[in-house]
A and B are shown apart, each in its own frame.
Chain A
Amino acid sequence: KQEVTQIPAALSVPEGENLVLNCSFTDSAIYNLQWFRQDPGKGLTSLLLIQSSQREQTSGRLNASLDKSSGRSTLYIAASQPGDSATYLCAVTGAGSYQLTFGKGTKLSVIP
């Protein structure tokens, strides 16, 4: 059974810092991995999707990497801003099942 773990559970950084969020998964048989952002009272927004054959994806100040063999992914946020404050969730799509398994998320606070 796939398990997804995100460390740390919460992170507080001053504005302008670069930061890394970590995600690990137990079963490397995945189709893809996604990073989502969850804002209080709002739905989840898909930020980046990495196919199992890819190593990284970039969107603006966000860069996500995937090391499928070791079951790890990182989300790098450059030059953090207060608007980046949210909970970031990692989710993997299981090979064959097409089901997303989510981590519990990392709550990020960017202090002005």
Chain B
Amino acid sequence: DTAVSQTPKYLVTQMGNDKSIKCEQNLGHDTMYWYKQDSKKFLKIMFSYNNKELIINETVPNRFSPKSPDKAHLNLHINSLELGDSAVYFCASSQWTGGGAGANVLTFGAGSRLTVL
């Protein structure tokens, strides 16, 4: 039973198209994240939602829009895809610990490889 599941696993599309990647977690966590791993293997956070509210929004083009219908789901929609959007996108979840030295242990999904042609 997959804890954090992402769909699709692979996505190949043309420049200019709009696409979505879905993420669901069954761990009961209240915080979800989207990370991007580029060709140089750097993992960078894009967004984070806590109880359906956006708490982290890094410098990401407006073409990227996260949507959290409930705390078990965080979907990523990308408009007008560009070549530079090609990457592996990872969804993750954790239990938010608030102040102090929280555990902040993330559980990651398997990743969604997006290729823009």
The interface of chain A, by Cβ under 8 A from chain B, is 31-32, 34, 36, 41-46, 49, 51-53, 87, 89, 91, 93, 98-100, 102, 104-105
Contacts and interface: CB of A to CB of B under 8 A. Distances in A.
Contacts of B40: 104
Interface of B: 4, 40-45, 48, 56, 90, 92, 101-111
Given A31-B102, A52-B101, A46 B107 contact: yes
Contact of B41 (A51, A53, A104): A104
Nearest to A30: B101
Query: Residue among A34, A93, A98, A102 with the most chain B CB within 10 A?
Result: A98
A99 B105 contact: no
Contacts of A46: 105-107
A46 B103 CA distance: 12
Given A43-B4, A44-B90, A102-B43, A31 B104 contact: yes
A104 B56 contact: no
Contact of B101 (A36, A45, A51, A87): A51
A-B CB proximity, top 3 nearest: A43-B108, A102-B43, A44-B108
Contact of A43 (B45, B56, B110): B110
A98 B108 contact: no
Nearest to B4: A43
A41 B113 CA distance: 9
Query: Residue among B43, B56, B108, B110 with the most chain A CB within 10 A?
Result: B43
A98 B104 contact: yes
